[in-house]
Amino acid sequence: MPPRIITLVRHGQAHHNIGWKFDWHDPYLTPLGETQCHELSERFPSEPPVDLLVSSPLRRTIQTTLLGFKQQIKSGVKMELLAELQESSEMPCDTGSSRDVLEKEELFRDVDFSGLPDDWTSKKGKWAPDPHSLGERARAVRKWLKSRSEGHVVVVLHGGFLHYIIEDWAGRSNLLGNCWRNTEFRSYVFADEDEDNASVVETDESKERRKGSKKPSGEGEAVEKVMRN
């Protein structure tokens, strides 16, 4: 049986989000981004409880997971890294760091990087940034999530790749999706009739929650510009 709920979360503000620093390689969160994550931990609903945390292996998403869900991690909720969740472009800011580099960072001393493929930072083959490859990678992520048995899975990822997961971009000629703010989260269920594509549908509760939700600090820095491949 697939999870009852999948909650998708965009990372906190990172250094490349300010002043279009797309040439920064795998940037960390800014101090404001860290504050946003602490606020996320306070405003994230306690029900249904989180059963599994899944994060993109880029630094900003790992940090967001560690800070935004510190109580869940402390209580024993497992955190997994999924290379397929990496961001959609091949710019330095959206290219991850090697496992050897990440394992040496004190900030991530308790994170398990053993499942990362050697080529996950290559941006070639299945990791390529073209629309077809991104669509296939997103479908693989959805099918992997649908195969999980946990009741509530939280996924921390990026503003661009989020649109491929929820399929509100049609491709190269239609890149205007519904932008996500930093640390914004929305909840989804799997479409019952869809087996191969594993499409997701936002829950009515999530839509209502977004209408009255408190915006994270620094909202003005939150919108991720779309770069055409």
Q: What is the 3-state secondary structure (H, E, C) of 8-60?
A: EEECCCEHHHCCCCCCCCCCCECHHHHHHHHHHHHHCCCCCCCCEEEECCCHH
5-221 folds as Rossmann fold (3.40.50)
What local confidence, expressed as pLDDT, does residue 194 receive?
67
Q: Could you tell me if 62 and 26 are in contact, meaning their C-beta atoms sit under 8 angstroms apart?
A: no
What is the radius of gyration, based on Cα positions, of the chain?
16
What local confidence, expressed as pLDDT, does residue 91 receive?
97
pLDDT tens digits, the chain, 229 residues: what are they?
889 999 999 999 999 999 888 999 999 999 999 999 999 999 999 999 999 999 999 999 999 999 999 999 999 999 999 999 999 999 999 999 999 999 999 999 999 999 999 999 999 999 999 999 999 999 999 999 999 999 999 999 999 999 999 998 754 444 445 689 999 999 999 997 767 899 999 999 999 998 877 667 775 444 444 433 2
What local confidence, expressed as pLDDT, does residue 211 receive?
83
Which pair of tokens denotes residue 98? 């090697």
Q: Could you tell me if 15 and 24 are in contact, meaning their C-beta atoms sit under 8 angstroms apart?
A: yes
Q: Could you tell me if 69 and 76 are in contact, meaning their C-beta atoms sit under 8 angstroms apart?
A: no
What local confidence, expressed as pLDDT, does residue 67 receive?
98
What local confidence, expressed as pLDDT, does residue 228 receive?
30
pTM: 0.91
What local confidence, expressed as pLDDT, does residue 217 receive?
75
Half-sphere exposure of 83 (CA within 13 A, CB side): 20
Q: Which residue has the tokens 């939150």?
A: 222
Q: Which backbone phi and psi does 137 adopt, to 5 degrees?
A: -65, -40
